[in-house]
Amino acid sequence: MCAVLNEHPVDLILCEQCAAPGAIAECTQNLSASGRDIPVVVLSESDDARAAVQALKAGAADWVITHHLSERLLPAIEHALSDVESRRERNAIAAQLEESRHRYHELAEALPQGVYELDLKGRFTFVNQRGLDLFGYTREDLERHPHVVTVLAEEDRDRAMQRIESMLAGSVPDDGAEYSIVSGDGTLRPVLVHAAPITQGDRIVGVRGVVTDLREIRETRQRLRRSEERYRRLVETMGDGLLTVDRDGTISYANRAMAEILEAPVDRLIGGDVRGLLDAENSAIIEQQLERRFSEGMSGAYELEAETGSGARVTLMITATPLRDDEGSVIASLAVVTDVTRQRRVEAELRRVKTAVDNSSDGIAVADADYVPIYINPAFVEISGYTLQELQKAGGAGATFADEEEYHRVFNEIKEKGSFVGEFEGRHASGRNFPVMGRIDFVRDEQGEVTGLVAVGTDITQRRQAEERRRSVRARLTLINRLNQMLNAGESIDDIIAAGADGLREMLDAHHVHLFMRQRSEDGEELVLRYSNLPPQIVYKAFGQVHEPQQMVLPLRPDAQVWEIYQTGELMEIREPDLERTMSDIKQWAEPSPVRSGMDIAHDLGSDISVSCH
């Protein structure tokens, strides 16, 4: 039979009653096993009621007695086919319902909220996994259909049951209700429940609801409120002004700092036109910037001047960026406004100070905390011979001192006292030393930490030379007055010569002095030693004997080394290589010549006197 069924579509099977017992049961079982829903109508000549009942129990659709065949066969076939069709429709509907229910359960399991269903007695018939987690139930617990009140806090049970009974009576609530549920660990958890009746046709069969955990929402709201509060405090306490400006230039928000900068109340600023705070020139700047913000969506930074409530002019640095909505459209311009009026004034003052420093005749240098120069003015370059880069490469401040000892002397005083004021020996980039009058001070921050130093110095070479000239003139006048006093007092020529020689030694800061007087001899001009403060032991060491002054005569010849001194009147420094020649000249001094007496002291203290100092 199965082979026939596989080869040909069959809607109904007519089966004659056969003698084999159980044949009809076997046929219906084979049809059921093959998944075919085909009705079987049994045709029988017997009217055995017991056999008919057994056939129907075995799965036959009908039992038709053959002698009633004309009357009963067609209705039996129609009835059997109708039953099959109805059964197939019911099975299809049931399959659809099962598929729908399956999709519903999948959707419910995917939701972040708890989903539940109650029957008419308030017992759970379905709870998704999120709901089980909230209620503290397991799947095994759900199979026992616990009552809804078991998950509710005691104080909420009556209110919840009244709401459930109202829904079972047909009422549909407009909003949710808040309850406290008891979680698995016994803690209370706030939830929001939205529920509605479950209907089948026109009958209410239960309640379906969605449970939202308010703890997470409240925590999120609290975090949001805290974040908003921090933002609000930040905006209201920030030192810079904050503005939002609409496309037409209307101020939609201004913080407290913005009101303080413009010296105007916040409520007066909000709703006003930003251009009302500006003159025509600065209004044009705002127009251009707003166009960039709204048309091009570009950020930007710029400066403009505005007039405050008191009429003062302030310079403002604006850093603006476009604000966009969820679709990306620019809805406003957000501007951070910084009052740079004082900064610009300070910058102008610093430029004036720098101009003054650059044009100062004193050398000025600034160094960091490690004494590395970071600025020198043109006068410092001229005095030291170093540019800034050259001075840094040369080692910094130490390169401008004559030697390391002088450097440490000055800087030890700075470290001890915080500053140095006085003279020191400087060194030019060329290597020559020169005197400097300077002041060097540490620069400290508000905590007293050294952040650098400032040095001001002047080359005092010319001043020292002028002072030396003045000292020399004073010393000469003092010496002349002394000699005149001795002359008027009638003191001896030798005493006057000795006093003059000692005075010259003091003027020249020399150790020893020799005074020669010029006289003529048969051999020509010569110089006769009239005074010397050279110790006798040195004379003895040089000549082997001690000579009296008048015994030393030096021929005045062009080849003698003293000739240059005599002719020019300039001091000569005799170094070691020339010392032998000088000693040779001295050893050639002749025996004493006649010494003139009664000479004019004023005349002989002039061109006829030669002084040698060493």
Contacts of 258 (CB under 8 A, 6+ apart): 241, 242, 243, 266, 269, 337
Are the CB atoms for 515 and 610 separated by under 8 Å?
Answer: yes
Taken in order 285, 288, 289, 294, is the CA torsion positive or negative? positive
- The lowest-confidence range among 64-73, 394-403, 425-434 is 64-73
Q: Can 2-90 and 360-459 be said to share one CATH topology?
A: no
Query: What's the Cα-to-Cα distance from 68 to each of 42, 56, 62, 72, rounded to whole Å?
Result: 13, 18, 13, 6
- Whether the pLDDT of residue 606 is over 70: the answer is no
- Band of the pLDDT at 456, cuts 50, 70, 90? very high
Query: What's the Cα-to-Cα distance from 112 to each of 17, 109, 382, rounded to whole Å?
Result: 63, 8, 81
Task: Calculate the CA 456 to chain-centre distance.
Answer: 36
User: Quick one: pLDDT at residue 603?
Assistant: 39
341-400 per-position pLDDT tens digit: 888 888 888 788 888 888 888 999 999 988 899 999 999 999 999 999 999 999 888 899
- The lowest-confidence range among 3-17, 395-409, 413-427, 587-601 is 587-601
Are the CB atoms for 514 and 534 separated by under 8 Å?
Answer: yes
Highest mean pLDDT among 69-83, 267-281, 467-481: 267-281
Q: Say yes or no: domain 2-90 is CATH 2.30.40.10.
A: no
Q: What does the angle CA 298 – CA 302 – CA 305 come to, to the nearest 5 degrees?
A: 135
Are the CB atoms for 614 and 519 separated by under 8 Å?
Answer: no
- Nearest Cα neighbor of 340 from 291, 396, 302 is 302
- The lowest-confidence range among 115-124, 429-438, 485-494 is 485-494
Q: Tell me, which fold does domain 242-340 have in CATH?
A: Beta-Lactamase (3.30.450)
> E strand or H helix at 313, and its extent?
strand 313-324
User: Quick one: pLDDT at residue 560?
Assistant: 66
Angle, helices 493-508 vs 461-488, to 10°: value is 170
DSSP state of 20: S
Q: What is the CATH number of domain 360-459?
A: 3.30.450.20
User: Quick one: pLDDT at residue 174?
Assistant: 76
The more confidently predicted of residues 607 and 468 is: 468
The predicted model scores a pTM of: 0.40
User: Quick one: pLDDT at residue 208?
Assistant: 92
- DSSP-derived secondary structure for 568-602: H-------HHHHHHHHHHHHT-BSPPPPP-S--HH
111-218 CATH choice from 3.30.450.20, 3.30.420.40, 2.60.120.10, 1.20.120.420? 3.30.450.20
- The lowest-confidence range among 101-110, 130-139, 147-156, 567-576 is 567-576
All structural domains of the chain with their residue ranges: 2-90, 111-218, 242-340, 360-459, 510-613
229-257 per-position pLDDT tens digit: 777 776 666 778 888 899 899 999 888 88
Distance CA 519, CA 597 (A): 11
- DSSP-derived secondary structure for 479-504: HHHHHHHHHHTT--HHHHHHHHHHHH
Are the CB atoms for 418 and 441 separated by under 8 Å?
Answer: yes
